Amino acid sequence: MTTIDRDASGPEDLQKLHNDLAEVWANPAGLKALTIVNHTTLGLRFMVTGMAFFLIGGILAMLIRTQIATPDQGFLTPEIYSQVTTMHGTVMMFLFAIPILEGLAIYMIPKMIGARDLVCPRLTALGYWCYLFGGIILSFSMVLEMAPDSGWFMYTPLSSSEYSPGLGSDFWLLGITFVEISALSAGVELVVSILRTRTQGMALNKMPLFAWYILAMALMIVVGFPPLILGSILLELERAVGMPFFDIAGGGDPVLWQHLFWLFGHPEVYIIFLPAAGIVSTLIPVFAGRPIVGYGWVVFAITVMGFISFGLWVHHMFTVGIPQLAQAFFSAASMLVAIPTGIQIFAWLATLWLGKPKMKLPMLWIVGFLVIFVCGGLTGVMLALVPFNWQVHDTHFVVAHMHYVLVGGMLFPLMAGLYYWLPLFSGRMPSETIGKWGFWLVFIGFNATFLIMHWTGLLGMPRRVYTYDTGLGWDIFNLLSSIGGFVMSAGFAMVLIDIALHFRYGKPAKTNPWNADTLEWANKLPPTPYNFVSLPTIETRHPLWEHPELPQEMEEGKHGLASADHGRREMWGTDPLTGKVREIIHVPSNSWWPLFAAMALAIVCISLLLRWYPLAGLGAAVAVVFLLRWSWENGVHPKAAPNANVTPGDPPLHSRTMDGPGVWAMTTAMIANGSFFLSYLFGWFYLWTISPEWRMPETSPLSLIALVIAGGALMGGAALMEKSVRGLRKQQERGLAFNFYGAALLGGIQFALILWVMVRANLAVTETSHDAILMVGLYYALLHSALGAVLSLLQGLRVGYRYVGLHAPFEPVVVAYFWRYNVVVFWILVVALAVLPRVIGG
């Protein structure tokens, strides 16, 4: 693509380029700062908010340790203690660990892969607001002393309305689901950004390892979170409406919740670990002064972990009464995961061995990680053995193991990364002295707390008991653990003081202060909103080691896309495998819509909590209107990219092609949707085959004929959408609007028929889980038919406004993908819900 000879142009030209970029990518101040969609700002907001929740979670941990420091304590009541333990786990896992790592990825990925932003900036903003509002709603339950108290995994029936009649469980279910919208948003756009916006020449095998880790994490979020979203919806429906999904008497099964929770919960451990390991794989080569040993083996290990972690969920359920052979499958699979973990650890050790490590502050935290995580991994292999697992189940041994893995495997690398990238965030260096004090206090305090907790557990102390009698042999160990906990807190206080002080007293950082190899250090310190003045061609894994002059050249606008007078926010759209440039991706600018949509969703969340269903319905409708309006300002809309002019020699804008990032985003979103759907099918077949009181009616209440006609309408609509796309590929746009309106009409017919089937079935949703789960399936199909119809209708309208046509053929491709998905899942649903019961019977 274009490489600009800036030497020939004067400094005025360069200054104009900087000014143009600054104007196009400007972040507004004041109230309008709420409209910012830029990844740098939002990544920082995610991380700062995550740190705030970390402090809340930490205070809760100290309350726990104070209560059980000595026997027979009355510092907390049993009710409050249960709330505190539940919220400690919930806050740390859902409001701190995942969001802060997502924030780091959101901040870092575009800078590392040579892009100017993530591919869907408004989705980043929506994700942030959903996270913030969901976190506030959930945390507010503590202020009201109504916090959830059934443990962070909310096992049924303890969390069901019979045993948890207050609003605590509802706060958890609705708040967490809200927060998970945020996680899924980040997951989708990180996948697409890494695959489609790497700078020119950056083939997959030249990508920084951190990007590999984040790609795996993001895909795991996309697949792993929907089972919990489904579980939360089902449990909330059971609590609010009385649909007995987890109630044995109504044909449900409480173990279904455990399956759905751990289908999410175990991969989540790796969702947290992988980005942290990505930090380790980034930092060790920098401080060892050499490339990582076994780049390909590390990619191998990342891929294996991403998959195998989904095959381990039952090892959290070894004591619920599963056949021994099935336990053996999961025990073996749990041991398999030690192989990729071991490969990474040996790759890191070999890199240190062959390099010349410099023990700077970030490296201290890395060494701490290696020690603690290896210990946590070893106790993990112990827990994978079924007989040992039975012995220590629900004891402090499990709590200690979990903290060794999560704190060792996530928090230590995160702290290393925080110190490493601090000069990028602020332009200043941290204090080595205060930082080392912080590290040693945390390291000593952590081991004093949790190493000792292994022994408390082996002596039989159960988890989540609010007190214990003296004389059981636990007294001294609990006291030492509590002292260790407070030492660790003092360490984190030192770290916070160091970070706070460095903004004022830290030495200004020089360019690339750690002599790193990756592109984020080609930014200014701190970075501009557009990251890079020009986008380089990168054909090496170590661009700054091999081309130290690169940051200067990029700053002088000597590489690609060095123009902004067109007013668009641009970056390269590249081939996911080779890194060859395909198109110019233009991303939207600042907007109120993400905030407004998140506020409407927050109203839905609060209304559902308070059982104000009409207001919840109104809020949902308003949210849909906001989201559709947001989607309207796309492509050639005057607020997006009405002008398609590009520099001669550059590729076209993505909205003028048929393979922009939206297609990839839709595909990735449908993977998440498919995971939700498969979880639903799992629930249906699980209850059918396992639930002891399952009641299948003699004849299916669903009209098969009506469903088949509805399927016919759906296929007709999908065919019209495909015809439109084929026509656009052949440069024909005749009848485009007609096809879209036709598809919308057929989608409407499908909607009406499903509604008719639903009403006619007269399902007793509060009496049997069979009818309840049928109803959920029908609602799923109903929502999808409605969405397909509305999206096609909007496409028809956009043809009229000339936002879609031969000049802008992109959007129909995206909508056609959705219709394809609809066709597949609808027929699977018909077979599963209406055909198989007729063939097999109850």
Residues of this chain that bind another protein (CB under 8 A):
203-205, 296-297, 299-300, 303-304, 306-308, 310-311, 314, 323-326, 328-329, 332-333, 335-336, 339, 577-578, 689-690
DSSP state at residue 573? E
- Return the number of the residue (296 or 387) whose C-beta is nearest another protein: 296
- Return the number of the residue (241 or 690) whose C-beta is nearest another protein: 690
Q: How far is the CB of 281 from another protein (least distance, A)?
A: 15
- Return the number of the residue (285 or 413) whose C-beta is nearest another protein: 285
DSSP codes of every residue in 127-188: HHHHHHHHHHHHHHHHHTT----STTTT-TTTTSTTT--SSHHHHHHHHHHHHHHHHHHHHH
- Return the number of the residue (109 or 219) whose C-beta is nearest another protein: 219
List the beta strands (DSSP E) in 436-514: none
Answer whether 212's CB lies under 8 Å from 278's CB.
yes
- Return the number of the residue (432 or 539) whose C-beta is nearest another protein: 539
Q: How much of the chain is in helix, strand and coil states, percent to nearest 5?
A: 70, 5, 30
- Return the number of the residue (190 or 453) whose C-beta is nearest another protein: 190
Answer whether 134's CB lies under 8 Å from 605's CB.
yes
Q: How far is the CB of 333 from another protein (least distance, A)?
A: 6
Token look-up 């795996």 returns 216
- Return the number of the residue (307 or 440) whose C-beta is nearest another protein: 307
- Return the number of the residue (269 or 706) whose C-beta is nearest another protein: 269
Calculate the alpha carbon distances from 551 to 41, 430, 512, 538 in Å.
Answer: 22, 23, 9, 12
Phi, psi of 586 (to 5 degrees): -110, 130
- Return the number of the residue (210 or 751) whose C-beta is nearest another protein: 210
Q: Is the sign of the CA dihedral 438, 444, 445, 451 positive or negative?
A: positive
Per the structure block, which two tokens stand in for 186?
A: 């980040």
Q: How far is the CB of 194 from another protein (least distance, A)?
A: 13
Q: How far is the CB of 831 from another protein (least distance, A)?
A: 17
Q: How far is the CB of 269 from another protein (least distance, A)?
A: 18
Phi, psi of 197 (to 5 degrees): -125, 15
- Return the number of the residue (425 or 694) whose C-beta is nearest another protein: 694
Phi, psi of 4 (to 5 degrees): -95, 135
Between the two ends of the chain, the Cα-to-Cα distance in Å is: 64
Answer whether 446's CB lies under 8 Å from 484's CB.
yes
Q: How far is the CB of 340 from another protein (least distance, A)?
A: 8
Q: How far is the CB of 197 from another protein (least distance, A)?
A: 17
DSSP state at residue 528? P
Q: How far is the CB of 382 from another protein (least distance, A)?
A: 18
- Return the number of the residue (8 or 840) whose C-beta is nearest another protein: 840
Calculate the alpha carbon distances from 540 to 288, 343, 552, 574 in Å.
Answer: 19, 23, 18, 16
- Return the number of the residue (511 or 578) whose C-beta is nearest another protein: 578
Q: How far is the CB of 773 from another protein (least distance, A)?
A: 18
Q: How far is the CB of 314 from another protein (least distance, A)?
A: 8
- Return the number of the residue (30 or 692) whose C-beta is nearest another protein: 692
Q: How far is the CB of 255 from another protein (least distance, A)?
A: 12
Q: How far is the CB of 339 from another protein (least distance, A)?
A: 7
Q: Is the sign of the CA dihedral 173, 178, 182, 184 positive or negative?
A: positive
Determine which helix (DSSP H) or strand (DSSP E) holds 571, and give its type and residue range: strand 569-574
Answer whether 626's CB lies under 8 Å from 597's CB.
yes
Burial readout 189-201 (b: 16 or more C-beta within 10 A, e: otherwise)? bbbbbbbbbbbbb
DSSP state at residue 198? P
Q: Is 805 helix (H, G, I), strand (E, B) or coil?
A: strand
- Return the number of the residue (314 or 407) whose C-beta is nearest another protein: 314
What is the chain's Cα-based Rg? 27
Q: Which distant-in-sequence residues (6+ apart) come within 8 Å of 350 by Cβ?
A: 293, 294
Q: How far is the CB of 788 from another protein (least distance, A)?
A: 28
Q: How far is the CB of 331 from another protein (least distance, A)?
A: 8
- Return the number of the residue (326 or 783) whose C-beta is nearest another protein: 326
380-389: long-range contacts at Cβ-Cβ below 8 A with a sequence spacing of 24 or more?
380/334, 380/338, 380/405, 381/334, 381/335, 381/338, 383/315, 383/334, 384/315, 384/331, 384/334, 384/335, 385/331, 386/318, 386/324, 386/327, 386/328, 386/331, 389/315, 389/318, 389/319
Q: How far is the CB of 206 from another protein (least distance, A)?
A: 8
| Separation CA 676–CA 682 (nearest Å) | 10
